């Protein structure tokens, strides 16, 4: 058991508790915010770090069409180098639905195929890279489902590399995890941000395909990620957008028309940006407390947070609760930067962040065993 796990004395920092409580701002009244006007049967909105803001049937399993290509792309990144050259198999070139007309024997790099698959939603490109990596579609689908399991996506089942199968299933919640994984990869993040992709054919014939994400150029802050459509899934869209320091991730599944999926995503993101703002959780410039350094002549050392921390928070969520936990005393010597406690910020019973509290100075004292105590001090913002 760490020395930071033991709990004993409380009176040693009683004065600090009074100072913190007196400095707390009064808790404002919490306004009730109307939900976004979304017609899709399944949808959700989160911050990019996964904080939920709103959802409807997020765990409902549905056909999700080409949004499953995000899972394909993640497997590709785990499997091969981007510069590796792929020879397009006939099985891939034979796909006549949502393709970029790749020819059998045509050569493209893995990165080029990823761009075709994620930007133009090319099914033949998705099939080509799958066969290149695993030899057969069946073996590649097994890799996709293994990756889904690894990511904790218990409601996701891939049946092909591109999403045309009627057996494909996922949820809005699982797709949000896939999108966050894509956006955490610098290469995939840069690809889904492309507004078009250039496909080079034999004999230097080229054609430009525009992104299937029609919010590019029409919505401030749009970043990606993936669209999808089949007659069974209807119109699906997973999208990321960033304004200032606030980055949101939205999912709309089962919209009735092409225009509705984009309009509903705009509504969802607008609602999120209107009601989600960056809040300073922990300041690195504020003295968070004082710890006694024991010795022949006891001294005191102040502590500060190891780093400043902010987060995008929903306006409707209740007050923040900050808990400072300090050693009641410590035997010297104390080294500047030594951890002497922690500060935790919670909201609605959910822990948002834990940051170490560090000594502000070097102090010399007796070299004896530490006598410590954790003391919780709470205040409400």
Could you give the residue numbers annotated as active site? 66, 69, 121
Whether residue 263 contacts residue 100, with contact meaning beta carbons closer than 8 Å, is answered with no
Sort 2 into a burial class: Cβ within 10 Å, 0-12 / 13-18 / 19+.
exposed
Q: How far apart are CA 30 and CA 126, in angstroms?
A: 48
CA distances from 365 to 8, 58, 179, 199, 373 (A): 22, 57, 53, 70, 18
Whether residue 169 contacts residue 228, with contact meaning beta carbons closer than 8 Å, is answered with no
Please tell me what DSSP assigns to residue 157: B
**Residue 92: φ, ψ to 5°:** -70, -45
**Residue 183: φ, ψ to 5°:** -70, -20
Q: Kindly give the pairing relationship between strand 196-200 and strand 206-210.
A: antiparallel
Query: Which token pair is 87?
Result: 């020879």
């Amino acid at each position: 058991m760490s020395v930071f796990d033991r709990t004993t004395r409380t009176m040693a920092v009683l004065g600090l508790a009074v100072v913190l409580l007196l400095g707390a701002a009064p808790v404002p009244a919490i306004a009730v915010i109307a939900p976004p006007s979304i017609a899709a049967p399944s949808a959700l909105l989160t911050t990019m770090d996964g904080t939920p803001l709103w959802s409807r049937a997020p765990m409902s399993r549905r056909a999700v069409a080409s949004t499953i290509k995000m899972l394909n792309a993640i497997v590709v990144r785990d499997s091969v180098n981007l510069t590796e050259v792929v020879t397009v198999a006939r099985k891939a070139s034979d796909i006549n639905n949502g393709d970029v007309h790749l020819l059998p024997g045509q050569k493209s790099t893995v990165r080029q195929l990823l761009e075709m698959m994620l930007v133009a939603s090319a099914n033949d490109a998705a099939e080509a890279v799958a066969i290149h990596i695993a030899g057969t579609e069946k073996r590649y689908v097994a890799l996709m489902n293994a990756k889904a399991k690894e990511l904790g996506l218990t409601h996701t089942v891939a049946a092909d590399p591109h999403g045309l199968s009627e057996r494909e299933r996922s949820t809005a919640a699982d797709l949000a995890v896939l999108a966050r994984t894509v956006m955490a990869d610098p290469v995939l993040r840069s690809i889904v941000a492309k507004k078009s992709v250039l496909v080079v054919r034999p004999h230097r014939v080229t054609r430009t395909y525009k992104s299937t994400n029609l919010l590019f150029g029409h919505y401030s802050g749009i970043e990606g990620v993936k669209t999808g459509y089949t007659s069974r899934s209807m119109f699906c869209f997973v999208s990321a957008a960033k304004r200032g320091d606030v980055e949101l991730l939205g999912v709309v599944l089962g919209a009735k028309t092409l225009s509705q999926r984009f309009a509903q995503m705009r509504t969802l993101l607008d609602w999120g940006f209107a009601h989600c703002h960056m809040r300073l959780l922990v300041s690195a410039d504020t003295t968070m407390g004082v710890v006694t350094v024991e010795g022949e002549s006891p001294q005191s050392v102040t502590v500060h947070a190891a780093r400043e921390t902010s987060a995008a928070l929903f306006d409707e969520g209740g007050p923040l609760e900050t808990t400072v936990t300090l050693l009641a005393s410590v035997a010297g010597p104390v080294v500047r930067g030594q951890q002497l406690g922690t500060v935790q910020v919670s909201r609605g019973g959910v822990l948002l962040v834990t940051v170490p509290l560090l000594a502000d100075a070097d102090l010399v004292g007796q070299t004896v065993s530490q006598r410590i105590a954790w003391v919780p001090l709470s205040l409400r913002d």
